[in-house]
């Protein structure tokens, strides 16, 4: 069933990205190439493979769910337009210049850093959790919606 497959992909994407986003500070503090080089490189490569799998599921699930809204140009334009407006209102429109549109190379500093909408620190745990979930579930889904809309139009 395509709908169930889309939901499973969304679940993997939302939960996986949220967990890795929540763990970014711990990973950055625990793993550094200057102290444990082999451990860092082994773990960072496994982390990249896992994060890639999770991101593909996030995009796949969102894309497939938006396919259930129909393929009429008017519907797609409304959803895409609303998503762009919401991204502008939340000041996260810059996230549209993400893969596949823009590519950045990895570097050692900030390897485990996942950008968040409001950049709260872990010292304020409640706001940090909301920031992580909002960045993944709301902003991420809006970005998928805009890309899917532009692709379909």
Per-residue pLDDT, 101 = 62
pLDDT, tens digit, for every residue of 22-47? 888 888 888 887 888 898 889 989 99
Check residues 11 and 126 and name the one with the higher pLDDT: 11
As a whole number of angstroms, the distance between CA 144 and CA 80 comes to: 10
Q: Are the C-beta atoms of residues 139 and 117 closer than 8 Å to each other? A: yes
Q: What is the DSSP letter of 70?
A: -
This prediction's pTM = 0.82
As a whole number of angstroms, the distance between CA 23 and CA 114 comes to: 10
**Mean of pLDDT over the chain:** 87
Per-residue pLDDT, 42 = 92
Per-residue pLDDT, 103 = 64
Find where tokens 């799998």 sit: 53
Per-residue pLDDT, 145 = 92
Check residues 20 and 153 and name the one with the higher pLDDT: 20
């Amino acid at each position: 069933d395509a709908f169930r497959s889309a939901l499973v992909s969304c679940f993997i994407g939302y939960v996986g990205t949220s967990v890795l986003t929540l763990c970014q500070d711990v990973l950055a503090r625990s793993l550094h190439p200057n102290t444990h080089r082999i451990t860092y490189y082994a773990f960072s490569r496994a982390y990249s493979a896992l994060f890639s799998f999770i991101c593909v599921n996030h995009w796949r699930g969102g894309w497939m769910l938006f396919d259930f809204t129909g393929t009429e140009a008017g519907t797609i334009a409304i959803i895409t337009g609303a998503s762009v407006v919401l991204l502008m209102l939340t000041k996260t429109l810059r996230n549209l210049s993400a893969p596949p549109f823009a590519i950045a190379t990895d570097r050692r500093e900030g390897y485990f850093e996942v950008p968040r909408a409001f950049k709260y620190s872990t010292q304020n745990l409640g706001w940090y959790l909301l920031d992580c979930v909002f960045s993944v579930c709301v902003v991420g889904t809006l970005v998928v919606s805009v890309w899917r809309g532009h692709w379909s139009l």
